[in-house]
Amino acid sequence: MVNSSSVAAHVAPALRGLATAAGASVAAGAATVAYAHFYELNNFKLRTESLPVLPAGTPDFRILHISDMHMIPGQRAKTRFLHSLASLEPDLVINTGDNLSHMGALPALLEALGPLFDFPGVYVPGSNCYYAPVFKNPARYLFKESTADEGIEPERAELPTQQMHDAFDARGWTGLINRADTLTINGLRLEFSGVDDPHLGLDDHPGFVPTAFDAEPAPSVRLGVCHAPYIRTLDRFVADGAQAIFAGHTHGGQVCLPGGHALTSNCDLDPARAKGVSLQSDVPVQISAGLGTSRFAPVRLFCPPEAILVTLTAKG
């Protein structure tokens, strides 16, 4: 016959052990969330890349790529980091969208970008340039299969998109919203093809402006610019003749495994390509991990926020 007091003597320590283990797990989880929110979210990094895409003999051309700022009023660390980027004195700024994460953040965004408006710039919008974020289950980001043409949830409020784009235009930046354009900077003719956000199914590719006849043609390069790097978007840029492509949207996976391994790209791109330079049919695709997050998912893990200084160099 089992003695109830002896059972209790064995069960009680086991329960205490389980409770201790559960408490340790909760504490470890809380510490990870605290690290992801209070430290990594503001651990801004500058990544550097070099893309050999210019005609032989062309001097280097330096592009500052920023994306996914998801600005909220009062983000001083992000503002200071953006201000510091002006000291790089880039030849061009490319902004691949998702600029706002709050209805009242436009003044803060323009203040943060202020010093970068001193440089030529081009921009395309992301969904978080059009619609304010809403709370979603954070696990949805990691485990929901993301598809293009998702459409807009009807409850999302409209952001001051036109006001923001008017401010960018007034500071001399060029919108590439389903349009092609050219800029000549430091003797390099930059041919751009940009699209509205593929994540919302708003992309309508304009191709590139045909190169005009010149008695003394300038060295040139063709760049595709988009927010969300869906495969169809990258393929179309390649088919149109892009020599390099710039995109954001993925947040680099945002909550990654150790080593920065992404679990998702939030689109149909392989998560292994969610950050950095990869190839689409031999054309380099530069994808930013972004500078912010939705204000309803303010965590990053093994995936610090970043800006990227991309140097275009001569081939060979």
**289: nearest Cα among 104, 67, 118:** 67
Could you write out the three-class secondary structure of 115-152?
HHHHCCEEECCCHHHCECCCCCCHHHHHHCCCCCCCCC
Q: For residue 186, what are its two tokens?
A: 């430091």
Residue 67 or 174 with smaller CB distance to Fe ion: 67
Q: How far apart are CA 100 and CA 2, in angstroms?
A: 66
Residue 191 or 203 with smaller CB distance to Fe ion: 203
Nearest distance from residue 126's CB to Fe ion, in Å? 6
Nearest distance from residue 103's CB to Fe ion, in Å? 17
Residue 68 or 306 with smaller CB distance to Fe ion: 68
Torsion, Cα 118 122 127 133, to 10 degrees, reads: -10
Residue 252 or 284 with smaller CB distance to Fe ion: 252
Using the contact rule CB under 5 A, the part of the chain among 39-47, 68-76, 265-273, 297-305 near Fe ion is 68-76
Residue 185 or 296 with smaller CB distance to Fe ion: 296
Strand partners, 94: 65, 122
Q: Which of 79, 92, 98, 123 binds Fe ion (CB under 5 A)?
A: 98
Nearest distance from residue 89's CB to Fe ion, in Å? 27
Nearest distance from residue 104's CB to Fe ion, in Å? 18
Nearest distance from residue 292's CB to Fe ion, in Å? 7
Cβ count within 10 A of residue 304: 18
Q: Where are the alpha helices (DSSP H) in 35-96?
A: 76-84
Nearest distance from residue 274's CB to Fe ion, in Å? 12
How long a stretch of residues is the chain? 316
Using the contact rule CB under 5 A, the part of the chain among 67-75, 102-110, 161-169, 271-279 near Fe ion is 67-75
Q: Which of 58, 66, 68, 287 binds Fe ion (CB under 5 A)?
A: 68
306 binds Fe ion (CB under 5 A): no
Q: For residue 213, what are its two tokens?
A: 């006849």
* Radius of gyration of the chain from its Cα atoms, rounded to whole angstroms: 23
Residues in contact with Fe ion by the rule CB under 5 A = 68, 98
